Chain A
Amino acid sequence: NAGVTQTPKFQVLKTGQSMTLQCAQDMNHEYMSWYRQDPGMGLRLIHYSVGAGITDQGEVPNGYNVSRSTTEDFPLRLLSAAPSQTSVYFCASSYQTGGSYEQYFGPGTRLTVT
């Protein structure tokens, strides 16, 4: 199993550009989520999904969209990038909701918005 994969690893955008961060998992996990990691702020939840076709907002959803058309994929879209979105983005998945299940993280995408 590849686990949780993310592409790209690095990305530089100009203000106003749009892009999609890709996330895929091959463990048949129901739950997937996106976090951003910023110095001194830890990881903050952006959006999450409890299954295909179901998504919901996390702590910091503004400026980001998600969709979950398949169990495997959970892309994160930046519609109009802003410098405040410069961060490291992590995707995670876990087997089931409502339990003490380990979350598996991807390697991260480092995004810089100029």
Chain B
Amino acid sequence: AQRVTQPEKLLSVFKGAPVELKCNYSYSGSPELFWYVQYSRQRLQLLLRHISRESIKGFTADLNKGETSFHLKKPFAQEEDSAMYYCALSGRTYNTDKLIFGTGTRLQVFP
């Protein structure tokens, strides 16, 4: 079964502290993993995708197929990073862009 697990509902850190938002997935084929972010009162938007291997707003995420994880990391959190973060999986086996989302982690960065 395809599944995305984000074990933390809430992650609170102080400004300047490192951040790691956990994401584990279950998928039998070759998944594509994404991180989407939703800032307060804004629409959901793509933060990054594993296939691009890019760093956006200081965030990085590495796909670890052995551990079936795609954790989102940032070395120094900023207050503007406070938002809801969703890990998502695209099931290419079905040749669609159906996204399966995790339950989300709310990141709070305190000054």
Residues of A participating in the B interface, judged by any CB pair closer than 8 Å: 31, 33, 35, 40-45, 48, 50, 58, 90, 92, 94, 96-103, 105-108
Which residues of the other chain, B, contact A31 by a CB distance below 8 angstroms? 96-97
Interface with A: B13-21, B64-72, B73-81, B101-109, which one?
B101-109
B8 to chain A, nearest CB (A): 12
B residues lining the A interface (CB < 8 Å): 4, 6, 9, 32, 43-46, 49, 51-52, 86, 90, 92, 95-104
B99 touches A105 (CB 8 A): no
Measured CB to CB, the nearest residue on chain B to A50 is B96
Given A42-B102, A42-B103, A44-B101, is A100 in contact with B43 using a C-beta cutoff of 8 Å? Answer: no
Say what secondary structure dominates the interface of chain B.
mixed
B31 to chain A, nearest CB (A): 10
Determine if B90 and A100 form an interchain contact, defined as CB atoms under 8 angstroms apart.
yes
A98 touches B32 (CB 8 A): no
Complex Cα gap A100–B97 (Å): 8
**What's the minimum C-beta distance from A113 to chain B, rounded to whole angstroms?**
22
Specify which chain A residues have a CB less than 8 angstroms from the CB of B86 in the assembled complex.
42-43
Q: A40-B9, A43-B86, A108-B43 are in contact. Are A103 and B96 (CB under 8 A)?
A: no
* Contacts A48-B98, A92-B99 known; 11 new A-B pairs at CB < 8 A: A33-B98, A42-B6, A44-B101, A45-B98, A96-B97, A98-B95, A98-B96, A100-B49, A100-B52, A103-B99, A108-B43
B49: chain A residues at CB < 8 Å are 100, 102
Of A40, A44, A102, the contact of B46 (CB 8 Å cutoff):
A102
Q: Which residues from chain B contact A50 at a C-beta distance below 8 Å? A: 96
Contact check, A99 vs B45: say whether CB atoms are below 8 A apart.
no
